[in-house]
Amino acid sequence: MTMRHSGIGMTSARTRQRMIDRLRDQGIVDEAVLAAMYEVPRHLFVDEALASRAYDDVSLPINYEQTISQPYIVARMIEVLRASTTRPIKKVLEIGTGCGYQAAVLAHVFPEVYSMERIEPLYQRAKSKLHDLAINNVKLSYADGSAGLPDAALFDGIIMAAAAPVMLAALREQLAVGGRMVLPVGRQEQWLYLVEREAQGFRESRLEPVKFVPLLMGKA
């Protein structure tokens, strides 16, 4: 990784290590997730004026009324996705690319990542950032993610970066048997859910309260 990507001052390796130490204190134990969170330069995915806050445990605006999720929730969702005991999670779909940060972390953890973004400037920005970082195992789509990506299904894992008002049946059906989906659900009160597809059907587990931007439909 070049010095430009490594950062200086408030974006330095030491600052990143403090983020990792904080994630451990918050209960993140998956070493592959922690390593990916350390490797991906979060400060490159936010506006330069916000770079000094990139490794704080906060969500930050990325324009178009969207945000980059706080580091804890990114790590938590990916850790839950990886915690399968029935099927290796290799092929993953992300709904809501945003600035591309979570897609970059996913790409360090899983061999095959698909990601969908409905806002064209964000799609283009994420595409550029992933290219700059030589991340080649993410397939980006400029599309409405609410219907998923049936042409590429089935997926071992699905992760959503916006809150659906209700559980989305179309996405559940794109899970392979043994697959897992992690997503926020709700309007005013949102909860993080884990959906597991078993041979007999689906099992849903409510994990913890969260706050995400709402899932919107249609391309913009």
Q: Burial, 117: exposed, middle or buried (Cβ in 10 Å; 0-12, 13-18, 19+)?
A: buried
Catalytic-residue membership of 69: yes
Residue for token pair 């709700």: 186
> Nearest Cα to 131, choosing from 100, 165, 167, 86?
100
Cα-Cα end-to-end distance for the chain? 34
DSSP letter for 145, please. Answer: G
Encoding tokens for residue 37? 């969170």
Q: Which residue out of 6, 52, 69, 115 is catalytically annotated?
A: 69
How long is the chain? 220
Do residues 156 and 143 touch, judged by C-beta distance below 8 A?
no
Catalytically annotated residues: 69
